A and B are shown apart, each in its own frame.
Chain A
């Protein structure tokens, strides 16, 4: 079965750029999307089809996908961005989630 691997945690200072990676076999040949989940809340879509932002998602969120790695980048990270982030892809009619990355802003 297809697997997506994320680092368990990433730390960033306020105002700096945070990068969260998601690795999978030939992931660049598929579409990746990303969800943000704050404690006690439901996940929220922040990036779909590799780099597209849903309406209402700040421009500081961006995405890319190439080779075996998709990357979520948060520019000018704010304290409100502290959350868990999950990547997701689709393989052979199966939805696959990464294990999640806890982003700490400190």
Chain B
């Protein structure tokens, strides 16, 4: 059964870079059938897509975050990572990673990791 686990600092200072890693177990991140994505959820609010990556390194990002986001993949470690630069308090959220089922007309996310809370504060 595929499992995803987010990891990284729970506290980041304003203006610094948030860095998270998602470790995939029970399946290969190099599968040609799937993409891999990041989604976040501010406390008490809704879901926001951050971006998606293929094992080849092909990426696409939320236009509202694109200037600050980098998603990368490490197939040797079966991991993919998120970097979000110049963070502010508005970036405080639970960050989820998920497997993406991608087609030319749609994406959906299944399954999701447990999520990790990242707080932006001095």
Contacts and interface: CB of A to CB of B under 8 A. Distances in A.
B52 interface: yes
Contact of B96 (A43, A86, A99): A43
Nearest to A97: B47
The binding surface of chain B is classed by DSSP as strand
B110 A48 contact: yes
A30 B49 contact: no
B101 interface: yes
A10 B115 CA distance: 26
A89 interface: yes
Given A42-B96, A86-B46, A93 B112 contact: no
Contacts of B52: 95
B107 A95 contact: yes
The binding surface of chain A is classed by DSSP as strand
Interface in A49-94: 49, 54, 86, 88-90, 93-94
A89 B49 CA distance: 11
B16 interface: no
Contacts of B62: 94-95
Contact of B106 (A1, A31, A35, A54): A31
A43 B64 CA distance: 22
B96 A48 contact: no
A9 to B, nearest CB: 13
Nearest to B112: A42
Given A1-B63, A42-B96, A43-B112, A49 B106 contact: yes
Interface of B: 37, 46-49, 52, 60, 62-64, 96, 101, 105-115
15 contacts: A35-B109, A42-B96, A42-B112, A42-B114, A43-B109, A45-B111, A48-B101, A48-B108, A48-B110, A54-B110, A90-B107, A94-B60, A96-B49, A97-B48, A100-B46
